[in-house]
Amino acid sequence: METEVKLTKLASCAGCGAKLGAGTLARMLEGFQTREDPRLIVGYDKSDDASVYLLDENTALIQTTDFFPPIVDDPFLYGRIAAVNAMSDVYAMGGEPKLALNILCAAEGMPEEAIREILRGGYDAAYEAGAIITGGHTIRGAEPIYGLAVSGFVHPKNVLTNSGAKPGDLLILTKPLGIGILTTAAKADMVEKPILNRIYAQMAALNKTARDIMVNYPVHSCTDVTGFSLLGHGFEMAQGSGCTLHIAVDSVPIHREALTFASMGLVPAGAYRNRQYVRGGVKLRRDIPLALQDILYDPQTSGGLLFALPEKDAQGCLRELQDKILHPAIVGYVTEKEDSFICLE
């Protein structure tokens, strides 16, 4: 849908690049009094993607929320990407999204049709995922914001967390990196339309297919790669698992055009926050161009899944993924804890 109001011009940050830095967030939450509950399988103590609460011996409830300012100008596409991004946390826990609530802030001056199209995009993504949007909350504010609060379900024995990686595992990533850099360049009208269409299609694609394949294998750990970048989310996986993740940089799928823009300095602020957060836990085993490092720290919006599974199962899983989705790749391996949480090789 074309609209006279350019949504990205109404926002100071785009997509998941608007997230607070992980280090800042950890400091803000430190020392809060919280209740303990034996039914809480996953809380925020290990920086996981969602909370998981045991309902009965066969069912656990997954809860998450995600919302952000516009990353595209098309209202329908913005709504769909934001909803896909929110539901991704449920897939990362091994579950299926079932119920959702809209979270919407409409900026002054936005036409009603644009607001409707944002919501329609969210409903479109939820319908494809098999989830039901049952209501929500809408306000007026300075900038547009949209997303979902999502509830999903998973069998308690099948819950995946970001803290279960084991030495000997291989790492699979299901979507290429570079979204934050390319959308930053797009705000300056520097990205050609075919490239934009490619990254828009990637952001609008559910992680459902990857999840449906992944759960048929003995996956030990999973996270989705969003605002904290591959290295930020990888750092949390390594830290939570007490292991070291070795990333084979040349095997990481990226949008090659992002290298050009990163070399020009068109890097979102979130990438610098991510670097600041994890740089003490990352070791370079060889010279890696700064532009390529920037892509590894680049905040992704609606990024792919990063998961760890035994080496003997990785190739079979990868072949299934390659039959169904674009550009999945084995990007590294896991060892016992070394002198850093991540090694770039």
Report, as residue numbers or ranges, the catalytic residues. Answer: 16
Please choose, from the candidates 141, 148, 145, 158, the residue with its C-alpha nearest in 3D space to the C-alpha of residue 124: 148
Query: CA 22 to CA 298: how far, in whole Å?
Result: 14
Residue type, 96: E
Query: CA 200 to CA 183: how far, in whole Å?
Result: 9
Query: CA 175 to CA 207: how far, in whole Å?
Result: 9
Could you tell me the strand order of the sheet in which 40-42 lies? 40-42, 51-56, 59-68, 145-154, 96-107, 132-141
Beta strands 169-173 and 51-56 are unpaired
Query: CA 78 to CA 72: how far, in whole Å?
Result: 6
Structure letter (DSSP) for residue 299? P
Q: DSSP H helical segments within the chain, as ranges? A: 22-29, 75-92, 112-129, 179-187, 193-204, 208-214, 229-241, 257-263, 269-278, 290-296, 311-324
Write down the residue that tokens 């045991």 correspond to: 54
If one counts every other C-beta atom within 10 angstroms of the C-beta of residue 240, the result is 20
Report how far apart, in Å, the C-alpha atoms of 148 and of each of 69, 125, 134 are: 13, 11, 11
Residue 30 in tokens: 């430190």
Beta strands 51-56 and 59-68 are antiparallel
Which residues is 228 bridged to in the sheet? none
